[in-house]
Structure 1
């Protein structure tokens, strides 16, 4: 898994150099490194989540709320692994307590995401894919601060 994360990291670096923003990000990294790592980890999770959601709803014709539940659950697991190994420092709690707090937080995040999806699609009549992207963005902000202050040490 660590090789995969390093490979992903090197691909992001190549992309940032290609876009000409590597030096700027490197400068900001000293002060905002954890936030940058979280954005990269979250971006990876968001791509996985959105990709699975599109696969399940578009190609497999699974109802959007069930597709959302499956996609976000898988993305949360991937994000936990990346967050634990790369973004945050463990040690606020024992491994067991950390996992329990993470699972409890994940349940809240899943419920919030489901509520947002339902509100956007059924309540406001938005497109499912636009609703998914909007839900991911809104939940990501809450997710960062909850993980930073409730789950992990730093």
Structure 2
């Protein structure tokens, strides 16, 4: 078991960093999705898009925290300069953000129709959609970041 943990150290740290970034993203999404619609009524539904700015801003918070956690704990410096590495990381993250936003909208409209009461917390449509989109996109992110940005 110990040998397996040592072999998969990078994946484990990626999962931990991703989990911490997801906490930042989900937490900021929860706050923003509660307060932004009070300031901007169109935030709830902008041309059929649910919570667009809450989603974008919370994803940016998650991306920035993930970048720093990734370079500190997950990946070794790659073949690129710090500047190029950051640009590539952000570029991949921007594309991932669009994929995540699309997934969120699809999940919100077609998959998650009801809330789930866990007793201590109620998972709403938007929270289940956000969490699922993050999990799906994170698998793609690991592969691309490991192979393309950092010397995988």
Q: TM-score, normalised by structure 1?
A: 0.77
Q: 1:113 aligns with which of 97, 100, 112?
A: 100
3-state secondary structure, aligned to 1:89: coil
CA contact (8 A) 2:26 2:58 kept: yes
Tell me how far apart the structure 1 counterparts of residues 35 and 142 of structure 2 sit (CA, whole Å): 31
Q: Do the aligned residues in 1 keep the contact of 2:18 with 2:66 (CA within 8 Å)?
A: yes
Is the 1:65–1:118 contact (alpha carbons within 8 Å) kept by the matching residues of 2?
Answer: no
Map of 1:131-146 to 2, 5 A cutoff?
131-146=129-144
Aligned residue for 1:10?
Answer: none
Q: Which among 2, 12, 15 is matched to residue 36 of structure 1?
A: 12
* Aligned position for 1:81: 68
More helix by share: 1
Q: Is the 8 A contact 2:78 2:149 kept in 1?
A: no
Of 17, 31, 39 in structure 2, the residue corresponding to residue 55 of structure 1 is: 31
TM-score when normalising by structure 2: 0.78
Q: CA RMSD in A?
A: 1.7
- The 4+ residue runs of structure 1 with deviation greater than 2 A are 26-29, 58-63, 122-126
Q: How many residues align?
A: 130
Task: Give the C-alpha shift of residue 121 in structure 1.
Answer: 1.8
Q: Which runs of 5+ in 2 are unaligned?
A: 38-42, 45-50, 114-124
Match of 1:102?
Answer: 89
Partner of 2:57: 70
